[in-house]
Structure 1
Amino acid sequence: MKIKKFDRYEPDERKSLLISSALRCLISEGYSGLSVRKITKEANVSQGLVNHHFGSVYNLIAQTYNVISTDFLQSVKEQIQISTGSAAEKLDIFFRENFSEEALDPDLLKAWLVFWSLIRDSKEMEDTYNRVNNETLSLLEELLTNISVEEKLSIDNISMATQSLMALLDGLWVRETLFDNKRKSENKESYDALTIARSWLKGYRAEIF
């Protein structure tokens, strides 16, 4: 009987490998990739390592979502921190990164659909989503508050403005990833996401909130 050989890694390496493998499976197969067998085969490790390191495949997927979201948010924060521009220019950094070519990779949409579908069924996924969402809202609210101070705007409800912007950005991201550039260019009345986000800021400056 031939015994299957698995690659040997240190614990942290195995966890990172499983996260990367989980993401590749979700990107290539969507919800069908949510399989311990497929993920561990992709990583070339034994199936028992998923429970050993994460407790369940749902915890693994939650951690995968956490890594992607946290890495993106941390990258944006670092760019904003080193920027010497105005608060509005710092918000524009967020806009540009949110709609960068890497962020709008259509292959990632399959993975995100799995992430979102698990929020109502997985406590780990719900907790991770809420934490990342709140951190993002806090960053946007801070930037909008700073714009108000710098430009002496009279904004009655910063919180509602922040929620409005977050909803807009989420919707634009989905729209941009669903339709390729060719299909968007065929619609003469279509505007790119960055233009729409910047137009929202013009409305904010007009003190509509």
Structure 2
Amino acid sequence: MTSAPRKFNRITPDQRKLALIEATLALVGEKGVQGATVRAIADRADVTQGLIRHHFSSKEELISAAYDHHMTTLTTLAQATVDPTADTARSRLAGFVRATLTPPVVDQRSLALWAAFLNRVQQDAAMRAIHQRTYMVFRDHLEGLIHAALTESNHPAPQDRTRRLAIACNAVLDGLWLEGGALPNLFTPDELSEIGLASVGALINIDLKQKAE
């Protein structure tokens, strides 16, 4: 008995690659990186294995693309929820902190995916490069917001100090994000974001909660 031929939708190459990436992320979330085989990805995306190889030279390249997409999406979500026309630099920074520590950025699936990829990041140079680049995109954005808030408050800081503040604030946000994704029912609504605002504010000596509420 032969199986029915697959039906292929006519979509652009970029749309097809995105569909393959999304299928990969779904499998990684369910079964880990090892469970995201080329066969399983093809079945999930309803395509042939040959079509996957047409777009990606190897499973490793597809896994790397999926990780890049996941990490970039988290930063994009945090940035997209901040009003760029907010009247003060302090309120823009506060908005970014809030967005980083509330759904959809704080999410059990997002944390599960990050954790599933982590071992590969430590072992694979390409994955490590993606991790570094996406980390720097987030941290550089945070550093820019901190610099603007300090300048606005008449306490401008040299670049090296602003960089160190961004590293420290990023570490606080990462820790709260991890706890929020791992134990979402442990915290009251907005509790993590309120802690984040107080902690980042204390590090840079600016009251972020004043304009955020």
Q: Deviations over 1:10-45 (max 9, x none)?
A: 433321111111111122223343221211111111
Query: In structure 1, what is the equivalent of residue 181 of structure 2?
Result: 177
CA shift in 2, pair 1:110/1:80, >3 Å: closer
Q: Which residue of 1 aligns with 2:6?
A: 6
Gap runs ≥5 in structure 1: 186-190
Letter matched to residue 67 of structure 1: H
Aligned match of 2:28 = 26
TM-score by length of 1: 0.84
Over 3 Å counting, the alpha-carbon distance change for 1:6 and 1:123 in structure 2 is farther
SS in 2 for 1:93: helix
TM alignment of 1:91-106, pairs within 5 A: 91-106=93-108
Q: Residue 198 of structure 1 corresponds to which residue in structure 2?
A: 197
Alignment RMSD, CA only?
2.4
Unaligned runs of 5+ in 2: 207-213
User: In 2, distance between residues paired with 1:200 and 1:155?
Assistant: 19
1:51 to 53, 63, 77: 53
Instruction: Give the Cα separation in 2 of the matches to 1:158 and 1:29.
Output: 40
Give 1:172 deviation, angstroms.
1.0
Which residue matches 1:118? 120
- The more displaced of 4-13 and 130-139 is 4-13
Cα pair 1:62 1:115 within 8 Å, conserved: no
- After TM superposition, the structure 1 = structure 2 runs for residues 70-109 of structure 1, keeping only pairs within 5 Å, are 70-80=72-82, 82-109=84-111
- The amino acid of 1:119's aligned partner reads V
The secondary structure found in structure 2 opposite 1:152 is coil
Asked if 1 retains the 8 angstrom alpha-carbon contact of 2:24 and 2:63, the reply is yes
Between the two proteins, the alignment pairs up a number of residues equal to 201
Give the letter for the 2:172 counterpart: L
